[in-house]
Structure 1
């Protein structure tokens, strides 16, 4: 595809999340990208080894709910939620000494395109430009990988 993906991010706090009928306050790092491809194609890329490495890091392999994942760069965690073509949530430890945080990736169909909405939340994440850049770049890598 020749269209370039669009990326947006927001570090705002206090947004209401009403997915699944529950309302909860969420803060943290938010990043989004719209990929000019249908949901099923984006999902297959996201869970492929190439797609998983694009957003979680080199060597990361995404398993089923409850399974661990590890990146060669150091980040690691556990798959906490896995809903095909809808959502993946993983715990995220930047390294062995880092506190646990949570990364939630939602897939949203938008006509013939798909929007990926990522939220990374935890005490060491909020307001971090480093984390914001990391996720903006990760979603762009993921989107570009689908175009090749």
Structure 2
């Protein structure tokens, strides 16, 4: 019998940080494996972008770019995130942790938001990324 897919979504904004999280009814390995696909990378970084190892640059077709700052399999990916208009990059951390027996909490924390990034846009952007990741986990 297939496992029913449900999620719990939370979002918060404080100062120059936006945090969006979701609990997926999948083990960490399944969620991590999805993040490592083209679909998972594009959900996080944008169209055409690829996740790489720590120190590698990435660039999406929409002009957003950055550098992978931290890469800890099945725990965390952290990367800088900059639009064409941004003077300085912001930081995005994707954190995974177990939630019960076969569930995973995935949290996206976008910090150091500059004046070029609206909080509402960031909430929508990362909520959409979590929706795409959850759909790919089915």
Same fold (TM over 0.5): yes
Match of 2:25 in 1: 36
Asked if the contact 1:29/1:127 (under 8 Å) is kept, the reply is no
Asked if the contact 1:5/1:140 (under 8 Å) is kept, the reply is no
Matched length: 133
Aligned-pair Cα RMSD in Å: 1.6
Q: Which segments of structure 1 move beyond 3 Å, counting only runs of 4 or more?
A: none
Match of 1:10 in 2: 12
TM-score (normalizing by structure 1): 0.83
Deviation at 1:30, TM superposition (A): 0.4
Match of 1:114 in 2: 104
Match of 2:130 in 1: 139
TM-score (normalizing by structure 2): 0.88
Q: How does 1:85-124 map to 2 (within 5 A)?
A: 85-95=74-84, 97-98=85-86, 99-111=88-100, 112-124=102-114
Match of 1:130 in 2: 121
Where structure 2 has 5 or more consecutive residues not aligned to the other structure, the ranges are: none
Deviation at 1:123, TM superposition (A): 3.8
